[in-house]
Amino acid sequence: MDTTLDDPLVGRVLDGRYRVDARIAAGGMATVYRALDTRLDRVLALKVMHPALAADAAFVDRFIREAKSVARLAHPNVVGVFDQGTDGPYTYLAMEYVSGCTLRDVLRERGALQPRAALDILEPVLAALGAAHRAGFVHRDMKPENVLIGDDGRVKVADFGLVRSVDSVTNTTDSVLGTVSYLAPEQIENGVTDTRVDVYACGVVLYEMLTGAKPHTGGSPAQVLYQHLNEDVPPPSATVPGLPVALDELVAQAAARNPELRPYDAASLLGLTLDARIRLSDAELDRVPPQARAEERTSTEDRTSVVPRPVAPLGAPPAVAGGESMNQTSRLMLPPLSQAQGQAPAPAPAPVARAQRRGLLLVVVGVLLALGLGTGVWYINSGQFTKVPNLLGKSEAQAKSELSAAGLGVKRVDRKFSEAFDRGTVMDTDPAGGKRIRGNGAVALTISRGPEVVAVPNLKSRPLEEAKAELAKTGLAPGVVSQAFSQDVAQGSVISTDPAGGEKRAPDTAVSLLVSKGRPVQVPGVTGRPLDQARAALQGLGLKVETAAEQLNSPFPAGTVAVQSVGAGTQAAAGDTVTLTLSKGPRQIPVPNVTGQDADAARKTLEALGFKVKVEKPFLSFSDTIAAQSVPGGQSAPEGSTIVIRTKGL
């Protein structure tokens, strides 16, 4: 079922400019939508931060940093950012819309790629990262999910949300932000992130493209981290026999565990990649890999997350403790592998020709970094598929006619209210316009019923769950629930709503609910009272009573209440819990011998230990020297108890 229709942003216009048409993908920090810039009449992607995170300055700063960083790059192999703004609770980036799929979609559908296809994808990725590195940025989250392959074959790098300035790279102490399967060893061990962490991730991605599987896998993130730290990325030919040595060497150089052994940045790795391509014959480049195993072909990818770094080096493989963090992405239908095999290979170039071509590498790398790699990988996306026509805003009859002309059928027709689309026009399709679908497939249409105004129901004195159900039935959404004491509304029932009952609002408007905590109860003071008496007093007022597991020393006798979690005189609601901590009695303190001391000095000594002191002087005594004390020195007395000291008599 297409959940995009339940998304409150779909159909809205953000900032008076961007009409949100459909949800493309959702992640831990943001949701990406297909939208229309109504001023420039162009389709774009809106990356909208989850409203719950908008109050976090760190997330907002990361969002804005992504916009500024990518805007500075302006590279043809980087997904461009057009605008950044805020509309109420929504902070967004307006970005270039790439109609196509991700490298993860390709790997999931096809498994291992031909070497030519793998290099055709890797080279523009490195061109984009090389431009970023030269501009002083580190991506920090390179993975197949962030490599987009457009319908026109152009490859683009996306999601610079974790981008960091090279000059600001520092060592972190507790954790590292990234994706477990692609973290470099120094990121895990020391939190160090420079250009070489992107190089390492690209080496892992290249291995995955050549073999159809990740080099390091395990039942938990900790097991994968251990392998990054202690095991080299194996040569791809160990998994796919027959792959040329040049590709094994390229993976080994990029994914070396020691960062000093890796190419310094993506531009350097791009030069090595072009050199490796020169050394391969057409037959080696077009070698068809074997089918990947089903479990490898259907595995899901890791989610970008905060990964705790080990306090000490991981010396032994950790036990299985649960699966890696997963993040599902939409699966895109792709043609059978046989349709992209190409023609019979041509003979390998002569050694002299190869040497001449190798001499041009430095020049070629510079040009590619400046202009971007335009080489397409169109053969990955070719086959017996067609695109869904863009039907938004068209009448139902027009939509059905265009689908029929494209050889597609109508799966079903749904009808929903919409403020953004005229009644009787298409407000959404499944699959969305521009998406690939098999030539004989069918499309679900959602037709607008036009705008609707809903009256807020009167929910006073209705139980909370019943009130929520009534709002949903009416077409409104339950909003923030807060609580307050009430003398006339039963506990757990609605006191009032905002907007108030009877007011009219658009469908899906959130209605805040103020719920009764019942009549207030004045909590009595029960410290110093026996537990049974204290419990009876509190329960008699409708309060729940719990007893703390631990006891503590206090001036109150052992077994009586030392502390109550809700203070005396505080207002509470019936059913609230008061936790009672029992006394172990006062602490026993050793009493020092103060005889022979001056009375003032003796008093200060005893009071400093927590005792109360009473000084007695015999009749007509003029001495301040202590002759006796009520508790002899060396014995113990309860903390807070009174010690009597007497001065010498005549």
Give catalytic residue positions: 141
Amino acid, res. 135: A
Query: Is residue 370 classed as helix, strand or coil in its secondary structure?
Result: helix
Task: Classify burial at 61, counting beta carbons within 10 Å of its beta carbon; exposed 0-12, middle 13-18, buried 19 or more.
Answer: exposed
Question: Structure tokens of 631?
Answer: 């508790």
Cα–Cα distance, 89 to 300 (Å, whole number)? 32
- Chain mean position to CA 396: 39
Q: Which two tokens stand for residue 349?
A: 């170039």
Q: ω into residue 290 within 30 of 0, thus cis?
A: no
**Cβ distance 86 to 188 under 8 Å?**
no
- Asked if 533 and 565 touch (Cβ cutoff 8 Å), the reply is no
| Helical residues (DSSP H) of 74-194, grouped into ranges | 103-110, 115-134, 185-190
Q: CA Rg, the chain, in Å?
A: 36
Q: Give me the helix-helix angle, 266-278 and 361-371, nearest 10°.
A: 130
Dump strand ranges (E) for 517-556.
520-522, 544-547
Q: Which residues contact 235 (CB under 8 A, 6 or more apart)?
A: 243, 248, 251, 252
Bridge partners of 42? 37
The two tokens of residue 471 are: 């709002």
φ/ψ (deg, to 5) at 136 = 95, 20
102, 199 in Cβ contact below 8 A?
no
Distance between CA 328 and CA 631 in Å, rounded?
75
Angle value at C-alpha 158, between 154 and 164, nearest 5 degrees:
135
Say how far residue 160 (Cα) sits from the centre of its chain. 15
Rounded-to-integer distance, Cα 150 and Cα 241, Å:
31
The residue ranges of DSSP E strands in 377-455, in sequence order, are 385-387, 409-416, 426-430, 436-438, 442-448, 454-455
- CA separation, residue 602 to residues 134, 633, 636, 638 (Å): 77, 12, 16, 18
**Residue 384 per-residue DSSP state:** S
